[in-house]
Chain A
Amino acid sequence: MTTAAASGMKKYVAVYFALLVLMALQFFLGYQGQGGQLVVRFLTFAVIETILVMLFFMNLGSENPGFIKFFVYFMLFVLATMNYVWTDSFRLLLFRLTGYTPS
């Protein structure tokens, strides 16, 4: 194995262990934590893991800068549309909890 390949493998193994540690922390939080902050913490961990996998395991960082921009903008658009939709569930929850029926 060449020096470059060996250095690449070391990087992959380091990211692999980082991902294992992050997942272990998530499982720990899952058993310990409660409340509305839990989902925010989970999503924060998931986003960090996504960045690690995209940059190192999928080598997104070594792609054309124009493509990276295109990809990042696309992901931000998906995130924005996701948040546009699901938050309406609070309205439905309020209706159910209060027994309110829109006329």
Chain B
Amino acid sequence: MSEAHLTMGAHSAPPMEARPFAMPSKKLAMWLFIMSDVMTFAACTVAYAFLRNATPDWPRPFHSVTNVVVMTVIMLTSSLTLLVALEAAKAVDKAKAFQWMLITAAGGVLFTLLHIRDWMGMINQGVTLFHNPWSPAPFGAAFYSITGFSLMHISVGTIALFVVAIRYKGGRYTADDVELFNLFWQFIGLVWLFIVPLVYLMNLAR
């Protein structure tokens, strides 16, 4: 019997299995969550593409997308500000990291408010899940399901960011936790970059 076996004794922990893909389990869990979310967004996009392509009189209701331009700039900027927070967290500059996380969360709040404003505009035009004023096409169902799913991610993500920021400041979370949240936030920003052309720009009034 080797010396190592003798010194470990009866109370030693069982040998650990190697970490899959040599990454921390929390990070792997976040990546797997993102991959499952990719499938959900893909399903929504396929349903939208199917309905849009199969409907000859699909409406094109957007005359201006100024609100969407502003929302996109906010989303991209918040992605950058969270990276500033992450770099500060890695450098153990807690005050700076907390400040930039709050700036990012403010971006999330602003984005959510503009999104709701966009929805209110559509609702005021008479677009509901099963009815729209332009054609019998299921435009409302497709529009609200895709943008609503994105809105849900961003609003819940904003609340989560406040929690992460407060816990990071309080010392319960580390830079690794900020990095995990960064993965999620960048992903929802990425989804928005697909929603803008497919849902808004493809349906610009001609």
A residues sitting closer than 8 Å to B (CB atoms) are: 1-2, 5, 8-9, 12-13, 16, 19-20, 23, 26-27, 29-31, 34, 38-39, 42-43, 45-46, 49-50, 53-54, 57-58, 63-64, 66-67, 70-71, 74-75, 78, 81-82, 85-86, 88-90, 92-93, 96-97
Contact = CB atoms under 8 A, between A and B. Distances in A.
A50 B190 contact: yes
Contacts of A49: 190, 193
A43 B194 CA distance: 8
Contact of B38 (A16, A78, A86): A78
Top 9 closest pairs, chain A to chain B, by CB: A30-B201, A42-B197, A67-B21, A89-B54, A92-B54, A89-B53, A89-B50, A86-B49, A64-B21
Contacts of B193: 19, 23, 46, 49-50, 53
B198 A42 contact: yes
B110 interface: no
B56 interface: yes
A2 B91 CA distance: 8
B23 A57 contact: no
A86 B56 contact: no
Contacts of B87: 1, 5, 8-9
Contact of A27 (B23, B45, B69): B69
Nearest to A34: B206
Contacts, number: 119
Contact of B31 (A9, A67, A81): A67
Contacts of A12: 80, 83-84
Given A30-B65, A58-B183, A89-B50, A96 B201 contact: no
B83 A57 contact: yes
22 contacts: A5-B91, A16-B79, A26-B196, A26-B197, A30-B201, A39-B202, A42-B202, A49-B193, A53-B193, A54-B190, A57-B182, A64-B22, A74-B35, A74-B38, A78-B39, A82-B45, A85-B50, A86-B46, A89-B51, A89-B53, A96-B55, A96-B56
Nearest to A5: B87
Contact of A46 (B22, B83, B197): B197
B42 interface: yes
Contacts of B197: 26, 30, 42-43, 45-46
Nearest to A83: B46
A23 B200 CA distance: 13
A53 B21 contact: no
